[in-house]
Amino acid sequence: MTLPDPFLKSIRDAVGEKAMITDAGDREPYLVEERGLLRGDSDLVVRPATTDEVAAVVRACAAAKIPVVPLGGRTGLVGGGVAAGGIILSTERMTGIREVDALNLTITVEAGCVLADVQTAAAEADCLFPLSLGAEGSCRIGGNISTNAGGVGVLRYGNTRALVLGLEVVLPDGRIWTGLNGLRKDNTGYDLKQLFIGAEGTLGIITAAVLTMFPKPRTTVTALAAVNDLGGVMEVFARTRAACGDRLTAFETLSRRCVEFDLAHVPGAVDPFAAPHPHYVLIEATSPRAGDPLRDDLEVVLGAALEDGVVADAVFAESENQRKQIWMLRETIPEAQKGEGASIKHDVAVPVSRVKTFIEEATRAVEAAMPDIRVVAFGHIGDGNIHFNLSQPAGGDPKEFRDATGMLNRIVHDIVASMNGSISAEHGIGLVKRDELAHYKDAIDIDLMRTVKRALDPDNIMNPGKIVQT
Ligand SMILES: Cc1cc2nc3c(=O)[nH]c(=O)nc-3n(C[C@H](O)[C@H](O)[C@H](O)COP(=O)(O)OP(=O)(O)OC[C@H]3O[C@@H](n4cnc5c(N)ncnc54)[C@H](O)[C@@H]3O)c2cc1C
């Protein structure tokens, strides 16, 4: 799509030539999705520095009916930021921390702040901003809010949605909606910010946010336990949650296959116990109280589980280094999986009470469809979020395996749907899951989504074609 000269002039007037990237080589990184699986198309990347500049750019797009795709850290995995013509608007120059209010436990940041920088700013105020995920060194808070990012702390602190108190958004007609309040109680009509959280840039461009912080943890205990079966995994979860209450911050599970992939492909990965075990659980509990007897509480839980035969072995991290070693086993699984050839990934959620049945049923079903397939199941079991990933048969043909994606997706997602689960627990819908959403969502859901989209964006210029087709 060639951009008309009067439009280019209005963008130049809005942000200046220096904030416009037109050179093909310089545009390239903004066009390619994180894993290189999808490639977009756009002749112009605009990098505004202020909310007013974003508004002026969007007004120009609205006047010319030219699509605009917002982009943050470009770590999204479902093609939400992949442009099909029009312009790309990057928030990467909007990195200001506008206010830290330690008494109100809030931090007000611009959309382009890198997540790790928000965490650091909170820590400098002796507080915690708890959103944490593998991409935190490069993803940006506007992207996190737009994808309602999850990560490892959801069990204790909720998704990003639970961490947002207020938003500032440039609407598809270029007006600036200022909902930047730091209130925990506000019952003045519709909670409009919720529309934009998880909207993947289809309803407006988030330019700033008020986020909630928490008291900084003073005690952290991390343990890894080996468990014989999935029933045991869920039993350890229930016991740990009962003992720790909301001090339980993370409860992750990984199968032996995950650990084996790590050992094969991740430098420095170490088998955590002398003998292999079918499943492992990673438990982390934190408390804002120095000297909280968390370690004692967890030792009691794991000691009893060892005696009952629910747990086969367990180890506590005795140093920050050991803590990192334990987390490394969990966080490097996606990287390790790459070393095993082609993979097909399902980031799904079911009620916690159905996790065991889901993994067992889905494993049986995909193995029946493709006997040598390798199930790589791991995830945030405490939230019911399972990464039900599949690796190609060892030594098989990657293309043949990828060609089976539709068939395997249908098997896995049908089981998810039968359990009232979600086909997208994290990451969103973007382009990659749009057809699956249309297949599984109730017609009324889709109709309401389209109604909202048309009401806010009648000309369909704001990240068109993502989530739902209008
Ligand atoms: C190694 C790795 C680990 C990951 N782990 C997790 C995880 O544990 N949990 C999880 O949820 N995700 C995870 N992700 C996915 C990704 O990091 C998240 O989706 C993240 O929130 C995206 O942020 P971003 O700034 O990179 O957004 P982008 O990729 O730039 O954009 C994502 C979507 O948001 C829209 N968008 C971006 N900024 C704005 C804005 N200011 N206003 C409106 N719309 C906007 C885009 O149009 C696009 O649709 C991981 C990714 C990687 C590479």
> CB-side exposure of 438: number of CA atoms within 13 Å?
12
| 3-class secondary-structure state, position 413 | helix
Contacts of 397 (CB under 8 A, 6+ apart): none
Tokens at 282, concatenated: 């990673």
User: Could you report the per-residue pLDDT of 404-453, keeping only the tens digit for each?
Assistant: 999 999 999 999 999 999 999 999 999 999 999 999 999 999 999 999 99
**Are 358 and 350 a contacting pair, CB within 8 Å?**
yes
Ligand 1 atom closest to 70 (CA): 47
- Give the pLDDT of residue 469: 86
The pLDDT assigned to 249 comes to 96
Locate 16 and state its tokens: 């200046």
Atom of ligand 1 nearest to the CA of 80: 49
113, 147, 169, 437: residue to mutate for ligand 1 pocket, most atoms within 8 A of CB = 147
| Rounded distance from Cα 139 to ligand 1 centre (Å) | 6
- pLDDT at 101 exceeding the cut of 80: yes
The confidence band for 152, taking pLDDT boundaries of 50, 70 and 90, is confident
For ligand 1, whether the C-beta of 168 sits within 6 Å is: no
**What's 273's DSSP letter?**
S
Q: Which of 240, 99, 76, 233 is nearest to 156 (CA)?
A: 240
pLDDT, position 123: 97
Mean model confidence pLDDT for the chain? 96
- Measuring from atom 52 of ligand 1, which residue has the nearest CA? 135
Distances (CA, A) of 79 to 124, 217, 427, 428, 433: 34, 35, 10, 9, 9
Q: How far is the CA of 144 from the centre of ligand 1 (A)?
A: 5
User: Is the C-beta atom of 69 inside 6 A of ligand 1?
Assistant: yes
Q: Is 138 exposed, middle or buried (0-12, 13-18, 19+ CB in 10 A)?
A: middle
Q: Is the CB of 81 under 6 A from ligand 1?
A: yes
- What pTM does this model have? 0.95
Q: Would you say the CB of residue 331 lies under 6 angstroms from ligand 1?
A: no
With cut-offs at 50, 70 and 90, classify the pLDDT of residue 38: confident
Rounded to whole angstroms, the maximal C-alpha distance in the chain is 76
Could you give the angle at the alpha carbon of 147 between the alpha carbons of 58 and 153, nearest 5°? 145
At 169, phi and psi to the nearest 5? -140, 135
Percent of the chain with pLDDT over 90: 95
Of ligand 1's listed atoms, the one at least distance from the Cα of 204 is 43
Q: Which candidate, 244, 384, 269, 381, places its Cα nearest to that of 327?
A: 269
Q: Which helix (H) or strand (E) holds 208?
A: strand 205-212
Q: Name the residue of 146, 177, 466 whose CB sits within 8 Å of the most ligand 1 atoms, as the mutation to test its pocket.
A: 146
**Minimal-distance CA residue to ligand 1 atom 15:** 76
Ligand 1 center–CA 212 separation, angstroms = 19
Vertex 426 angle, CA 422 and 430, to 5°: 90
Tokens at 84, concatenated? 């099909």
Quote the CA–CA distance of 300 and 118 in Å, as a whole number.
36
* Residue to mutate (ligand 1; options 31, 34, 71, 118; most atoms within 8 A of CB): 71
Report pLDDT digits (tens) over 175-224. 999 999 999 999 999 999 999 999 999 999 999 999 999 999 999 999 99
Cβ–ligand 1 contact at 170 (below 6 Å): no
Q: What is the pLDDT of residue 134?
A: 87
Distance of alpha carbon 317 from alpha carbon 389, whole angstroms: 28
Is the distance from the beta carbon of residue 70 to the nearest atom of ligand 1 less than 6 Å? Answer: yes
Q: What pLDDT is recorded for position 162?
A: 97
Residue 34 is predicted with a pLDDT of: 75
Query: Is 18 buried (19+), middle (13-18) or exposed (0-12) by CB count in 10 A?
Result: exposed
198 lines ligand 1 (CB under 6 A): no
Question: Is 426 a pocket residue for ligand 1 (Cβ < 6 Å)?
Answer: yes
CA–centroid distance, residue 31 to ligand 1 (Å): 15
Q: Which atom of ligand 1 is nearest to the CA of 144?
A: 21
Both tokens of residue 221? 């205990």
Average the pLDDT over 371-378 and give the result. 97
| Token pair recorded at residue 360 | 């067992």
* Ligand 1 atom closest to 200 (CA): 49
- pLDDT for 124-146, tens place per residue? 999 999 999 989 999 999 999 99
Q: How far apart are the first and last CA of the chain?
A: 20
CA dist., res. 35 & res. 77, Å (int): 7
